[in-house]
């Protein structure tokens, strides 16, 4: 009984922290709109151009057009590019003294991290909606039944949570906004290129392939591709297992880091 009420309190606190972030977004929605631009460009310009390339089309799974192949990749990319800089917010809040105040409440460290990660997840959903709408406009043929869309949102939330925790864990080590900005930039491209987001793993340089297999982004792209494009779901359990496990791992690391952050 005691354990149960502790667990409930833990999640309740995480949701309150997420609510706090959501309320901020409600007061200032510009960031949501601005963040829709980049993934739109990837899909509408890069995607359309690349789909003309025969080499690319020859290597993607049979029966898929390049845009079908790439749309899940852009979904994952949009989540990654935003979440990886999430740590900057936390450093900023530390500098302002907001973090100090949050940590003086009864909420546990890790429920605060979980709440912040959840808010990153919700932000990701807005972009995902924009990408899916654009794909429909470009007449990309996607499987858009409610279950597939729901599944996609779950993956988007998880992948945003995962990389925002990575970012917060790094933030607790580097401790300044400027350095955090640098780290974010150094990390996004390797994570993005060493995944199956915009080309199949089979045509990657061979030395980078192992990296793609330990990259949680690969698994989230794969999960969304299964649900939205191929409809072949048998690798889904593995995909989810990998994403959830890495999210929990980095959640723990970021929570441990939070203590260092303010002392």
Partner 1 sequence: MEEKAIVVQNLVKQYPKVRAVDDVSFSVDKGEIFGLLGPNGAGKTTTIRTLLTLIPPTSGETLIYNVNTAKNSEEVRRMCGYVPQDVSADGDLTAYENVLISAKLYGMPPKERKQRIQEVLNFLELTDREHDMVNTFSGGMMRRLEIAQALVNRPKVLFLDEPSIGLDPNARRIIWGLIKKLRDEFNTTIMMTTHDMGEADVLCDRIGIMNRGKLATLGKPEGLKAAVGGDIITINSNNPNCSLKLKELGYSAITDSADGNFDLIVNNGETLIPHLLEGLKAKGVVVESVSLKKPTLDDVFLKYTGARIEEGDTFAETRRARQSFTRRS
Name the H helices within 97-145. Answer: 98-103, 109-137
Asked whether 226 and 233 are in contact (CB, 8 A), the reply is yes
In whole angstroms, how close is the CB of 26 to partner 1 at the nearest point? 10
* Alpha-carbon 86 to chain mean position: 10
In whole angstroms, how close is the CB of 92 to partner 1 at the nearest point? 9
Residue from 41, 48, 61, 97 touching partner 1 (CB under 8 A): that is: 97
Kindly tell me which of 98 and 173 has the beta carbon lying closer to partner 1.
Answer: 98
Core vs surface per residue 214-228: b (16+ CB within 10 A) or e: ebbbbbbbbbbbbbb
In whole angstroms, how close is the CB of 108 to partner 1 at the nearest point? 7
Residue from 44, 56, 211, 262 touching partner 1 (CB under 8 A): that is: 262
Residues 193 and 217: their CA atoms lie apart, in Å, by 10
Task: Give the range of 20-28, 136-144, 216-224, 227-235 binding partner 1 by CB under 8 A.
Answer: 20-28
Kindly tell me which of 16 and 149 has the beta carbon lying closer to partner 1.
Answer: 16
| Residue 98 engages partner 1 in binding (rule: CB under 8 A) | yes
Kindly tell me which of 85 and 192 has the beta carbon lying closer to partner 1.
Answer: 85
Residues 6+ apart with CB under 8 A from 215: 191, 194, 195
| Residue 24 engages partner 1 in binding (rule: CB under 8 A) | yes
Residue 226, token pair as written in the block: 């299964």
| Residue 96 engages partner 1 in binding (rule: CB under 8 A) | yes
**Secondary structure of 9-63 in the HEC alphabet?**
HHHHHHHHHHHHHHHHHHHCCHHHHHCCHHHHHHHHHHHHHHCCCHHHHHHCCCC
Task: Give the range of 5-13, 143-151, 166-174, 203-211 binding partner 1 by CB under 8 A.
Answer: 5-13
Residue with tokens 């949102």: 153
CA pseudo-torsion sign 132, 136, 142, 143: positive
Residues 26 and 4: their CA atoms lie apart, in Å, by 32
Kindly tell me which of 96 and 241 has the beta carbon lying closer to partner 1.
Answer: 96
| Residue 16 engages partner 1 in binding (rule: CB under 8 A) | yes
Task: Give the range of 90-98, 163-171, 199-207, 245-253 binding partner 1 by CB under 8 A.
Answer: 90-98
Instruction: Give the residues lining the site for partner 1 (CB under 8 A).
Output: 9, 12-13, 16, 19-20, 23-24, 27-28, 95-98, 100-108, 262-263
């Amino acid at each position: 009984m005691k354990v149960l009420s502790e667990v409930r309190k833990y999640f309740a606190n995480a949701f309150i922290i997420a609510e706090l972030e959501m309320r901020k977004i409600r007061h200032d929605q510009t960031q949501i709109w601005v963040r829709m631009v980049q993934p739109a460009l990837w899909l509408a310009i890069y995607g359309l151009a690349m789909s003309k390339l025969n080499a690319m089309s020859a290597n993607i799974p049979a029966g898929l057009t390049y845009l079908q192949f790439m749309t899940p990749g852009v979904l994952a990319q949009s989540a990654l590019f935003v979440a990886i800089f999430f740590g900057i917010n936390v450093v900023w809040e530390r500098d302002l003294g907001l973090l100090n105040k949050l940590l003086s409440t009864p909420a546990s460290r890790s429920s605060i991290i979980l709440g912040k990660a959840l808010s990153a997840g919700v932000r990701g959903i807005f972009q995902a909606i924009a990408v899916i709408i654009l794909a429909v406009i470009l007449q990309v043929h996607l499987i858009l039944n409610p279950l597939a869309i729901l599944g996609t949102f779950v993956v988007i939330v998880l992948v945003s949570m995962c990389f925002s925790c990575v970012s917060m864990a790094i933030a607790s080590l580097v401790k300044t906004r400027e350095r955090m900005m640098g780290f974010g930039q150094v990390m996004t491209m390797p994570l993005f290129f060493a995944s199956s987001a915009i080309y199949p793993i089979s045509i990657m340089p061979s030395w980078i392939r192992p990296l793609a297999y330990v990259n949680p982004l690969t698994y989230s792209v794969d999960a969304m591709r299964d649900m939205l494009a191929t409809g072949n779901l048998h690798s889904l359990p593995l995909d989810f297992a990998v994403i959830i496990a890495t999210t929990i791992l980095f959640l723990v690391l970021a929570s441990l880091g939070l203590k260092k952050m303010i002392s």
